[in-house]
Amino acid sequence: MNFHLTGTLTAPSGLWDRTPVKYYNSTVWDGYVHQPATYLINLSDEQSTYRKVTGAGTVAVIDTGIDSTHPVFSGVLVTGYDFTRNSQGGSELSDVNQSTMAVVDGSAYPAQLNQSTMAVVDGNEALTLEQSKYAAFGHGTMTSGIIHLVAPTAKIMPLKAFRADGSGYLSDILRAIYYARQNGANVISMSFDLPTYSQALNQALASANSAGIVCVASAGNDGKNILVYPAANTSYVMGVASTNNQDLQSSFTNYGSNLVWAAAPGEGVISAYPGATYAAGWGTSFSAPFVAGEAALVRGAVLTTNQSSAKTAIAHAKYINSNLNKGRIDVYQAIFSVE
């Protein structure tokens, strides 16, 4: 389900910190690197202590695609695929070249991105994208940017299974999972959900796990103790809930230990946005890629990392409450546990 936050949101101050800084192989905004979320998950401590553990392998991102020209992704992209057009690449920029977006009955699209709200820098203002007909445009670039923030030397494989309005076919998601397996992915990041169980999806995830792929999915933004999929495919997936910058459970996040393995920051998270700029996002969509990046970090320490061992490492987290199972992730503690 696509969920939009209500009320007034304050764009984080980091969106205006455009000081260029070197971050591994790319030049990025300081507000992206030094945002509250990175300190909450102890990323700077992990990077200063374990200098060689900066991410390994390839993270497949099943989303709206990516802006491959964004400076953040310099040197880390591998060839992806656009399942909405059956073409190589996985770019989301082609969506904005359409003069209109098709309006279809929601039942035709059994999956929906878990995007909530995004604020994007445009001149001197922060604009929410709820007012745009391209409601999910930039979503894949943002989730990929968070993965890169956590695991800057891991490769990113953009797999476009969703359109700019946030809708996607289950068949395209299945194709993307199998494509990830066949093309060498080590982690799959999924910021979307389906309201009902799918045996075909369960089989695809089991196949990915059997190939050693770590699977991560967002828990959804209904604010309820409910099951959504793939996060609730707990045998094969780590479901991720959202916390705020005060280390409290986000009001909008779904919760429950039968859905959530761990939580990560999901409010006002700053990431890359198409057009060489940056945006802030609210929602579990932006929590899941923190855990996907963490899985790539763990693989950087232990190349044989699989779903089970990644879950064990990521369980070294800060306990918040029983709703969020293991708690808010701590990448330093996760790497310490395997080094």
pLDDT per residue of the chain (339 residues) written in tens, 0 to 9: 233 444 456 788 898 899 999 999 999 999 999 999 999 999 999 999 999 999 999 999 999 999 999 999 999 999 999 999 999 999 998 887 643 333 222 233 456 666 455 555 544 444 444 434 456 889 999 999 999 999 999 999 999 999 888 888 999 999 999 999 999 999 999 999 999 999 999 999 999 999 999 999 999 999 999 999 999 999 999 999 999 999 999 999 999 999 999 999 999 999 999 989 898 889 999 999 999 999 999 999 999 999 999 999 999 999 999 999 999 999 999 999 998
Asked whether residue 4 is domain-assigned, the answer is no
For 186-227, how does the pLDDT look when each residue is reduced to its tens digit (9 = 90+)?
999 999 999 999 999 999 999 999 999 999 999 999 999 999
Asked whether residue 243 is domain-assigned, the answer is yes
Split into its structural domains, the chain has a count of 1
Asked whether residue 1 is domain-assigned, the answer is no
* DSSP-derived secondary structure letter, 14: G
For 216-274, how does the pLDDT look when each residue is reduced to its tens digit (9 = 90+)?
999 999 999 999 999 999 999 999 999 999 999 999 999 999 999 999 999 999 999 99
Note down the domain range covering 184. 13-96+108-338
Q: Name residues whose C-beta falls within 8 Å of residue 103's C-beta, 6 or more positions apart in sequence.
A: none
Asked whether residue 2 is domain-assigned, the answer is no
Asked whether residue 5 is domain-assigned, the answer is no
Asked whether residue 83 is domain-assigned, the answer is yes
Chain Cα centroid distance, residue 37 = 14
Asked whether residue 161 is domain-assigned, the answer is yes
Asked whether residue 7 is domain-assigned, the answer is no
Q: So which residues are the catalytic ones? A: 63, 139, 285
* CA 217/CA 239 separation, integer angstroms: 5
